[in-house]
Amino acid sequence: MSLTLDFLLPPPPASYNAEQASVSHAALTATTDRLIEPIGRHFLAHARRKTNNRTFSEDERHQAEEKANQVVEEEQVDFVYEDVDIDTVNTDPTQWKQQDNYAVLGLTNLRYKATEDQIKKAHRRMVLLHHPDKKADKNDDAFFKCIAKAYDTLMNPVSRRQYDSVDFGMALIEEDVPTAKTQGDFYQLWAPVFEREGRFSTKQPVPTLGDANSTKEEVESFYDFLYNMESWRSFEWLDKEAAEGSDNRDDKRYQEKKNRAQRANLKKEDNARLRTLVDTCLSVDPRIAIFKAEEKKRRNAKKDAKAAAEKAAAEAAAKKAEEDKIAAEKAAEEAKDKAASAKKDKEMIKRAIKKEKKNIKAIIKDNNYAVAGDAPATPEQIDTQLFKLDDIIAKNKSVEQLEALRKSFEKAVEEKNLADVFAAAL
């Protein structure tokens, strides 16, 4: 924000003479650029007047109207007055440590929820109703002192927290908690209990009890928070003072030691009380039974799925083993058939070879043992030709070769040149 300050410089002193020569007693330092920021309530008032184009009187009137509106807003604090029965509250200012401060100011419906504005308004009303000037006996200011003490206690954050730790008016309410056998709607019974207990937590906000639609994570978070909740309850309000009129330091130290021990014991008892309360609530929480049933169902489903998977795997393994067995048997049968067929073929080939050899030998024998000329073959020629025939047959071992050899001999017989073909076959 930039503003132009339009103001005049003050007039020069009467002794100033413009024509008089000035005298420099020291050299001027070099100029330096500096950023000057206007601050303060007077500058803010000036800026407000310039921004809103108001004069001094207009601005003062506007500020007065704003303050009046603030007072009206304070008077409009949402608050329902309570009638205070003096016979039921403390009226002895010497017993201020045991009095119910909220009851004295008529704040029993709000108690720890009461705001500072509500406390101020309740105090103002009680002062107007019970000021000593309005009583016949002007010296009867006992209850007025109790009101003042309650106001001082509740308006001081430290003393109010100390008192809220042991709020006497909450004792009966805190004792009236559900048990495991209490009949009724679970959420309506227990939600207010933990709302009250949550006010003592050093960590805010505190998780709520929730409802039937809360998730398992939300419910577990709620109970975990309560089991590990750090409470600011100090129980200092119940500390006892040293003997009245005693200035002995040893007595004061001894009393302080007893107070510390008492606070520690009360803190321990309160933690145990809260844990017992949470245990009881947890034992009757209908959502826990539902979560356990769902968890059991999930475990059973997982177990069933595992058993089904194992069964399916066993069945698949058995099926595969059966298929492998059938395939092996089939392969063995095929191998057996193939071997039998091969054996049969081999026998057929042997018979065919034997037959061809027999036919070839018959051709040679029937045609003068393939000896050239018309003269019958002599025994020596027969032996020689038979040895040659054995050599020819040894060179032609397969059926095809023997068959071709036979056919060539048969043709040679027809063409009458068997001797030549026989000699060529060697």
Joined together, the tokens standing for residue 269 give 């008892």
Average pLDDT rounded to a whole number, residues 220-227: 94
Of 14-18, 129-133, 318-322, minimum mean pLDDT range: 14-18
Q: Under 8 Å CB-to-CB from 161, ≥6 apart: which residues?
A: 232, 234
Predicted pLDDT of residue 114: 92
- d(CA 65, CA 399) in angstroms, rounded, equals 136
- Residue 25 DSSP SS3: coil
CB 368 within 8 A of CB 415: no
pLDDT at 73 over 60: no
Is a pLDDT exceeding 70 seen at residue 47? yes
The answer to whether residues 204 and 235 touch, using CB atoms and an 8 Å cutoff, is: no
Per-residue model confidence as pLDDT tens digits over 197-206: 999 999 999 9
- Do the Cβ atoms of 96 and 90 come closer than 8 Å? yes
From the number of C-beta atoms within 10 Å of its C-beta (0-12, 13-18, 19+), residue 402 rates as buried
Cα(142)–Cα(124) distance, integer angstroms: 17
In whole angstroms, what is the distance from residue 390 CA to residue 32 CA?
Answer: 136
Beta bridge mates, 231: 201
What pLDDT is recorded for position 152? 94
Give backbone dihedrals phi and psi of 201, rounded to 5 degrees, phi first. -75, 140
In whole angstroms, give the CA distance from residue 171 to residue 161. Answer: 16
With CA atoms as reference, report the closest residue to 275 among 218, 194, 212, 199.
194
pLDDT of residue 237: 92
State how far the Cα of 248 lies from the Cα of 240, in Å rounded to an integer.
15
pLDDT at 160 (0 to 100): 94
Examine the pLDDT at 246 and tell me if it is beyond 80.
no
> For residue range 78-126, what is the model confidence (pLDDT) as tens digits?
667 888 888 889 889 999 999 999 999 999 999 999 999 999 999 999 9
167-182: pLDDT as tens digits:
988 888 888 899 999 9
Q: How far apart are CA 31 and CA 28, in angstroms?
A: 9
10-40 per-position pLDDT tens digit: 777 777 777 777 666 667 778 888 777 777 8
Give strand pairing partners of 201.
231
Task: For residues 216 and 296, give the distance between their C-alpha atoms in angstroms, rounded to a whole number.
Answer: 14
Tokens 């069945």 — which residue?
Answer: 315
